Amino acid sequence: MFELPKYGDGLCLARLAALLELLAIDRTRLQQHAVVVTGSNGKGSVAAMCAGIGRALGLRTGLFTSPHLYRFNERFAIDGVPIGDGLLTELVERVATAITHVSRGRGGERFGAFEAQFALACLYFQEAGCAFMVFEAGIGGRYDPVRLVGARLTCVTSVDLEHTELLGGSLELIASDKSDACAAGGTVVYGENLRGLRGHLAEYNRGRGVTGLFVREEIALGEERMSAAGQSLDVRFDRHGFDALELALPGTFQFNNAAIAVAMVLLWLRQERPDAAPAAIEAAVRAGLRETRWAGRIETIRQAPLTVIDVGHTPDGVRQALRSLQLLHGDEEWILVLGVSRDKNVADIAALLAGAFGTIVCTAAHHKGAEAERIAAAARAANPAAEVVVAGDIAAAVAVSTQLALASGRRIYVAGGLFVAVEYATVVRVASRRLVGWG
């Protein structure tokens, strides 16, 4: 959309600050009205839940996320509605013009695509008068564009070994980097899989006066109920106790995500809307969680044959999603469609998934997909007893997996990476529209 490289030249903070200044972004207001979501897995779900609660409170709410699943416009939403094409084109032109001006003044220094998108989100939300804004980090926190929000409330949803060339080769380094999205004197809400890093994070944050709060410690969970019909949980935090909060998003990992979102919004309200009525807060929390939808996480995209996709692409994300699939739908009669991005560890992800399936269709996503034969070799190594079928592209994977499932009465699970799940869903949906005469 911006015809920019993924990453710009060196660190982005100074040039991005100059860009925000040229666009007349009120960074004081931005800090007051925004929260930032970082983490390895769960960022999108937490951000969507925060925004859902904000909307339910009656606040005009902006949501900036990445990557998009189906359309670029999804990255910029206000009150749950993605930006329209016309306004997006106008804002892209304005931001691109400003980038050209700033770049020339800095000796031709190149901006990265995510920097431009972040600036566009700030401009869009400011001009729309958003009272509450949720920004999802791109990768880290220390040098990520979202650091310029100056947010006093951030979270780290989870940590996994991902983007180690940028963030570091240990969970401690990755958690530290993501924690730096928080402004000095602020609060970071940490997901439950960071509890083992509590001592490290307390010392890391001490010098900046940053407070850490942890799911299942300061933020208490109870009565987690899960079934194919729906799930709910109890949350206790600060002065608030919420029983039987209903979640629209499936998966055991959504309990952690919901607790983070509730705590984030409660902390923001304490800071910016201290007079908010407890009854109104509870009603908004309930409605926001109950109504939040987020594509791609244990999402059923077809009923006949039952087909479920998941966009998890780190080892921990893949592991949690498989566990949730089995709890929700059982662990029998599945065909796995497996694809992994070429910049991920194919062997590790195949090893996490392959052992649970008797039939595995290995394929390559068009975007960034590792070769199907390479994935098949990893699947065979992980599960020598499985029937492994190679489908060279997603269309072929849809055709062969559907045929196998219909012939044997089995179900289909599409996993291993974001792009394989999204591309599979796209092919299925296009085919469904044609069947009913839409195409």
Q: What is the per-residue pLDDT across 157-204, written as a single tens digit (0 to 9) for each?
A: 999 988 878 889 999 999 999 999 999 999 999 999 999 999 999 999
pLDDT of residue 426: 95
Mean pLDDT of 302-317: 92
Per residue in 13-66, pLDDT (tens digit) is 999 999 999 999 999 999 999 999 999 999 999 999 999 999 999 999 999 999
Task: Copy the structure tokens of residue 31.
Answer: 């800090």
What is the CATH number assigned to the segment(s) 299-435? 3.90.190.20
- pLDDT 10s digits, 238-275: 899 999 999 999 999 999 999 999 999 999 999 999 99
At residue 1 the predicted structure's pLDDT band, cuts being 50, 70 and 90, is: low
pLDDT at 376 over 90: yes
Specify the pLDDT at position 343: 86
Residue 240 sits at φ, ψ, to 5 deg, of: -110, 145
Give which of 110, 114, 156, 108 is closest to 1, Cα–Cα: 114
What is the layout of strands, in order, in the sheet containing 76-78? 81-82, 76-78, 61-64, 132-136, 34-38, 153-156, 187-190, 211-214
The rounded mean pLDDT for the chain is 95
13-291 under CATH 3.40.50.360, yes or no: no
Tokens coding 240: 């608030």
pLDDT digits 0-9 by tens, 385-425: 999 999 999 999 999 999 999 999 999 999 999 999 999 99
Residue 341 corresponds to which tokens in the numbers above? 């991005």
SS3 192: helix
> Residue 437 — pLDDT band, cuts 50, 70, 90?
very low
* Domain residue limits, the chain: 13-291, 299-435
Is pLDDT at 438 greater than 50 in this prediction? no
Q: Go through the chain and tell me how many residues it has.
A: 439
Residue-level pLDDT at 434: 60
At 192 the pLDDT is 97
pLDDT tens for residues 283-295? 999 999 999 998 8
Backbone angles phi, psi at 331, to 5 degrees: -110, 15
- Compute the C-alpha angle 169/171/176, nearest 5°: 100
pLDDT range class, residue 436, cuts 50, 70, 90: very low
Q: Quick check: 439 pLDDT over 50?
A: no
Q: Residues of the chain with pLDDT > 70: what percent?
A: 98
The model's pTM: 0.93
pLDDT at 181: 97
3-state secondary structure 359-409: EEEEECCCCCECCHHHHHHHHHHHCCCCEEEEECCHHHHHHHHHHHHHHHC
- Where are any strands of DSSP class E within 57-143? 61-64, 76-78, 81-82, 132-136
Question: Among candidates 194, 210, 192, which has minimal Cα distance to 202?
Answer: 210
So what's the pLDDT on residue 149? 98
CA atoms within 13 A on the CB side of 209: 5
With the CA atoms of 137, 138, 140 and 143 taken in that order, what torsion angle do they form, in degrees rounded to the nearest 10? -90
Position 390 scores a pLDDT of 97
Q: Is the predicted pLDDT of residue 118 greater than 60, yes or no?
A: yes
Q: What is the pLDDT of residue 133?
A: 98
pLDDT digits (tens, 9 = 90+) for 331-347: 999 999 999 999 888 99
What is residue 226's predicted lDDT score, i.e. its pLDDT?
87
Q: Quick one: what percent of the chain has pLDDT higher than 90?
A: 87
